[in-house]
Amino acid sequence: MFCQRCDKPLTDDEAERIVNAGATGAGGTITVCRIPCKPSPRQTSPVGLGR
């Protein structure tokens, strides 16, 4: 089981499950750290051409 915010592996006592009931669909459940964590860096735009 991994935190879906920081990608850290978690044990059952470190994890908190959040149920997201979908308004028009099935919804889902996410697993995050009990203690607020810092999100892992993600690339959200393409890398420049190096000019």
Report pLDDT digits (tens) over 5-27: 999 999 999 999 999 888 888 88
As a whole number, mean pLDDT of residues 41-48 equals 77
User: What are 9's two structure tokens?
Assistant: 């592996």
pLDDT at residue 50 greater than cutoff 80:
no
Angle at CA of residue 20, ends 18 and 26, nearest 5°: 135
> 38: buried, middle or exposed (CB in 10 Å: 19+, 13-18, 0-12)?
exposed
How does the average pLDDT of the chain come out, rounded? 87
- What's the pTM value of the predicted model, to 2 decimals? 0.64
Whether pLDDT at 39 is above 70: yes
* Domain locations in the chain as residue ranges: 1-37
User: In angstroms, what CA-CA distances link 24 with 28, 35, 43?
Assistant: 12, 31, 30
